[in-house]
Structure formats: structure tokens, C-alpha cells
Amino acid sequence: MRILVIGGCGYVGSVLCQRLLEEGHSVTVYDIMWFGNHLAEHDNLTVIEGDIRGTERVPMAGQDAVIHLANVANDPCAEIDSGLSWEVNVLATMGLVELAIACGVKQFIYASSGSVYGVKDEEQVTEELSLVPISDYNKTKMISERVLLSYGDQITIQIARPATVCGLSPRMRLDLSVNMLTMQALANGRITVFGGDQTRPNIHVQDLVGVYLHFLKKGASVSGIYNAGFENISILSIAERAVEVAAAEIVVSESNDPRSYRLSSQKLLATGYSPQYCVADAMKEIAQAYRAGELTDTDGCYNIRTMKKAIAAAL
């Protein structure tokens, strides 16, 4: 297949593109490259630097499928510039799906977020529950979903609501809970936990990539919205697991972040998808990379730090 990966140089995209190429697909990446380009050269890979707000420049023609990962990700980044977040996450997404339809693309796969549910008391959060987004980022994801679904009669729309992602990537992130707490244990011997009782769902980056590959293979037989998260763990429990990888002191502080929910991914599992990785795998591979000198704690591993620099440079 000819696949356009929008945001393919990011944390998930860098792993996804490698897997797509291994499976023999022809891959075109369109990315603003705020976080650089960590993709290895390949005969079937084309990488183009660009801003998705200029939709007319996105190389959509001739593609069989689009995997749209590009967004202003997470709450702190969305709060830097609310207008930018809405332009990128919502308006550009609408422009992209309209362009995909005009160019005859068959599938449009979108990376939403499990955080659209907000705070939930239910034991298992399923796709049928109401969305109560509590931040600009959550709201942009919710609206983007609704915009995309409105085009479902013209193109196959497949939306994943991922849990918090963990594990190694060529474009590493250390601002995600499992990765962050594991690195704190390794580098500092001290883990700071804010709150700790909040339960968060988690998914290994390789499993999330597997979900997108599953969508590609299933095509129109699997459309709509699917939760993607397989381990619901409290923040404190994540810290305790990190200590098993690297001995560290755990310090608990108060938190003003009330988000707590447990994703159910039974709908996804019913389509035949089966996860292969877990949080423990992510921690082990992070520890191995750190101890081998292959992973260091730099500003580039944090979205908020990198975005602030990119926005300041653009002014």
C-alpha cells in the first residue's frame, strides 16, 4: 500500500514508519519536524517537511491510506497557544480529511486520545460513555473525532483513543508517565509522584503501532472509534514498578490533576487484535538503553520544552 503518515517523525510515528517499511509498504511522511527527523533512510520512504495548516501542500494524491498522528500533543503544550492547538488539531484535520476524499483515499486513520473521557467513576470506560474533556487538548480531540465521523459516508474513518503510551522510540519522549518515572529512577535514584491514586491506562508504543497496522489490514470492516489501552495502573503503582528496574526513593506530593479512568478495550479486542507488550517491557528496554548509553535525558525528549523553543524561534 501507499501510505501517508502525517506526523511520522514523532514518538509513535518513528516506530510506525519503521514497521510499515518492514511490511513492504511505500511510506510518505509529512511532518513539521519540531522534534527532528529520526527516521533511517529507505528506498520506499519519502520524508517531507511541512505544516499541516497549509493543507494544499500535503502530498495526498496517489495515497491508499492516511494515518494522521500530527497534533499539538498533551495539555501543557496545548496551553502554550490555544489558537495554535485548535488550528492544528481541529481545522487542519478537517482540511486533511476533505483533501483525502477529493484525492480518492480509501482509509483515514486518526490518533485521538483516551483523555477525552475526563474523570470517570465507572469501573471500565467504554466507547459508549459520555465525553467530558477538561482541557483544551481534550476538547480539540473530541471535536476532531466528531468532524471526522461526519465524513464517514465518504471514506473509511478509523479512530483510536490511545492510553498513555510508553516504551522506546527513535524520537524518545520522557514526559509520559511510565517513561518519565523510569528515567527518574535510573538517572536520579528518586521518583516524584504527584498524587498517586489516579488510575491511568497504558499502552506500549509497539502495541499502538500494532493497532494502526490492524486498522490498515481490516479496512472498512473495522471503522469508527476504538479505545486502545491494556493496563490500568495507578501512578503510584507505576512508580513502584519502576523501583523494581532501578532502586530509587519514591516521594509523593499533592497534585492538581484529577484525571482518573480505566479504559476498556474489549471492542478492539473483539476485532481480533491482541497486544504483545506491557509496561514492564517498556521499563526494561528503557533501562537497558540508558545503561548502554543509548538514551539520555535531554530537552528534545520533552514536548513542552521543544515546543516553547520552536514557537519562540518562529516569532
* pLDDT over 80 (residue 205): yes
List the grid coordinates of 49: 517537511
CATH 3.90.79.10 fits 2-171+203-230+259-277+299-314, yes or no: no
**pLDDT of res. 312:** 66
**pLDDT of res. 79:** 81
Closest-CA residue to 265 (of 120, 119, 115, 124): 124
pLDDT tens by residue, 4-42: 999 999 999 999 999 999 999 999 999 999 999 999 999
Q: Please tell me whether the overall predicted TM-score, pTM, comes out greater than 0.85 for this model.
A: yes
* pLDDT over 60 (residue 315): no
Neighbour tally for 128: CB within 10 Å = 8
Residues paired with residue 202 on neighbouring β-strands, in sequence order? 164, 231
The domain spans of the chain are 2-171+203-230+259-277+299-314
Instruction: Compute the Cα dihedral for 176, 172, 212, 204 and give only its sign.
Output: negative
- Please, which pLDDT band fits residue 258 given cuts at 50, 70 and 90? low
pLDDT tens by residue, 183-200: 999 999 999 998 888 888
- Please, which pLDDT band fits residue 308 given cuts at 50, 70 and 90? confident
Using a 10 angstrom Cβ sphere, with 0-12 exposed, 13-18 middle and 19 or more buried, the burial of residue 80 is middle
With helix as H, strand as E and coil as C, how does 81-101 read?
A: CHHHHHHHHHHHHHHHHHHHH
- DSSP H or E stretch at residue 302: none
User: Please, are residues 71 and 96 in contact by the beta-carbon 8 Å criterion?
Assistant: no
160 CB contacts (<8 Å, ≥6 apart)? 109, 110, 111, 112, 208, 211, 212, 215, 226, 228
**pLDDT of res. 196:** 85
- DSSP H or E stretch at residue 209: helix 205-218
Closest-CA residue to 127 (of 263, 274, 273): 263
pLDDT tens by residue, 46-87: 999 999 999 999 999 999 999 999 998 877 787 888 888 899
* pLDDT over 70 (residue 314): no
Percent of the chain predicted with pLDDT > 90: 82
79 CB contacts (<8 Å, ≥6 apart)? 135, 136, 137
Give the strand pairing for 26-31 and 45-49: parallel
* pLDDT over 60 (residue 145): yes
Closest-CA residue to 35 (of 309, 311, 300): 300
Round the average pLDDT of the chain to a whole number and report it. 94
List the grid coordinates of 303: 514536548
Question: What's the average model confidence in pLDDT over 268-285?
Answer: 98
Distance CA 52, CA 46 (A): 16
Question: What's the average model confidence in pLDDT over 148-170?
Answer: 98
Per DSSP, the chain holds a count of helices (H) and strands (E) of 11, 12
Please indicate whether residue 194 or residue 92 has the higher confidence score (pLDDT).
92
